[in-house]
Structure 1
Amino acid sequence: MHFIFIVKWNQPKYKKQQWPKSRRWIVRSQKYFKQYKLIEIFNDVDAKPIGFTEGNFIPGLIDLEKSKRFNKYIDDTINDNIAEKDAKDFIKSCSVCNKEGVNIDEWIFAFSKLFAVDQPAFEKFIEDYDQAVTKKGKLKNQG
């Protein structure tokens, strides 16, 4: 799902004093869209979240197998050894609470750091995921 924000700057109802506020709204909306896109990707990778236990929601966890599966989903040419090495590196660099996997908070934090340091790499990650979804469908719907 893509959102397109169209602001007609030349319409008389917009005064020059309102332009910066409108621009800030667009930037803020794009940031929220990217955050929700990350949550969508996390939920797709974590096809079977832990769910509810005794009335408390237990968030999912991307472990080694899920991360390896995601690497193969994004890149058809990757072999098992490289996919596993990349998955281990990802978990090692992103996990804080549980060394066995990455939860949603750690996922968003890791990609927030990536966005701040290397925005083109962040955009490429989103673009690669969108291309894989267009080509193959959602990861959680794969066998």
Structure 2
Amino acid sequence: MKMLTRAATAAVTMAAGLTFGAGPASATDCEPNCANPDTVEPVRQLNPYITIGVLRQSCGTMMSHSVDSTPVRLTVANRTRTPFVLYWHNTSGSRESARTLQPPATVNITTYRGHAWEVASTTGTCLSQFVISDDSTRSYVTYG
């Protein structure tokens, strides 16, 4: 399974390219400004190219819910050129457990079915959200 996952990741990385963080499409896509390209973050959704055991959500209000007490190993990989922050949303919808993933980074987290997660820029702008599937035992999300 590890070999298959690595092969799929490599193939999709090559096919998709590393477009997130490559620079803004226009001056209106810059955050906080375009004067210094080292601090520019594209303001757009970050779409994962590999998702297993998660349900993708549009950025917006979301909260974790309890399905059962089955632990799920969540692996999140940052294959972009830009750091991002991974947040867990509690049952009230508040962000918690912030963890910055510098590229190239992979993190393994024990979570639970129904838990909500968000990937945000280092300035706090939501880029992507997902929820651990109700039947998942292992989840993968790779950005890049």
Quick check: which one's strand share is greater?
2
Which one has a bigger Cα radius of gyration?
1
Quick check: which one's helix share is greater?
1
TM-score scaled to structure 2, two decimals? 0.25
Greater relative CO (CA pairs within 8 A, separation 6+): 2
